[in-house]
Amino acid sequence: MMLRSVLYAPGHKDRVLAKALTTGADAVIFDLEDAVAPATKPAARQQVLAALQASSGSRVTRTVRINAPHSVWWREDLATVLPGQPDAIVIPKVERADDLDAIAHNCGDLPLWAMIESPLGVLHAAAIAAHPRVTVLIAGTSDLSEQLHVELQQDRLPLLLVLQQLVLAARAAGVLVLDGVFLNIHDDDGFRRQCIEAVRFGFDGKTVIHPSQVEAANTLFTPSAEQVAHAQRIMTAWSEADGRGEAICLLDGRLVEQLHMRDAARILALWQSIADRTA
């Protein structure tokens, strides 16, 4: 699954819901939680259901963020939107793996995307990521900053340990992990810097709050032409060495082992997925 850009769309705005699917984002999150006031939630559920039904067969991954497991709204959220056949359910404010059990029991076999937004969630991230229904972790950086009493800065140094713990948990469980949102939609340079940072940290993609952020996220989470060319050369060199019965080889004077081959294969698989998506 390719999730370079994942766009939030408030569930109570029908035009925004429709437009979200045309922005080029790899996935959308139709949001019934924080973006929707309690009085508006019943109408928002119906609008999200309509958006799901209208987009059946879309190449965009369509998900719904329901309300938190300990809220009074999540059951009605699920009951309303499931007939629209979303591709996954996004669960906010997950703090323990067993927070997911009741929701998993009530949504068939749909994948679950777990949002980590609190210190407890971070401390239990490995168990949450290992839940059999979880396929994606999402860093809720805004809530995490508030609960940790730190300022959400562009370099995010106060969140470094948290972000790396989420990447570690995701990699250990074999699931994808998405970086949190960048709130200033007018700061294009700041957004690009944060995407580059997230790539360096090991995230698979970024959640975004505005269509103007989609293109940059897609570009920066896509392997560059140079990376692809180098990965192809590694695969060729490894294949030739393997044909000679050798477990290592040299490429441009540098040692190439099986771990380099695996990473090259990952880069090429991602590149191919992107090419197939845009064909």
In the chain, where are the structural domains located? 5-220, 225-278
Give the closest residue to 154 by CA, choosing from 206, 119, 192. 192
- Distance between CA atoms of 54 and 14, rounded to whole angstroms? 11
- Distance between CA atoms of 140 and 121, rounded to whole angstroms? 10
5-220 is a CATH 1.10.287.3510 domain? no
Give the closest residue to 63 by CA, choosing from 155, 15, 1, 125. 1
pLDDT at 248: 86
- pLDDT-derived band of residue 247, with 50, 70 and 90 as boundaries? confident
Strand 254-256 versus strand 249-251 pairing type: antiparallel
- pLDDT-derived band of residue 238, with 50, 70 and 90 as boundaries? confident
- Distance between CA atoms of 5 and 207, rounded to whole angstroms? 6
pLDDT reading at 19 higher than 80: yes
- Enter the pTM of the model: 0.94
- Distance between CA atoms of 182 and 188, rounded to whole angstroms? 10
pLDDT at 276: 82
Helix, strand, coil percent content, the chain, rounded in steps of 5:
50, 15, 35
Could you report the per-residue pLDDT of 135-162, keeping only the tens digit for each? 999 999 999 999 999 987 777 999 999 9
pLDDT at 133: 98
Q: At what angle do helices 160-173 and 141-148 cross, to 10 degrees?
A: 130
Could you report the per-residue pLDDT of 85-135, keeping only the tens digit for each? 999 999 999 999 999 999 999 999 999 999 999 999 999 999 999 999 999
- Distance between CA atoms of 204 and 213, rounded to whole angstroms? 16
pLDDT reading at 279 higher than 80: no
pLDDT at 239: 85
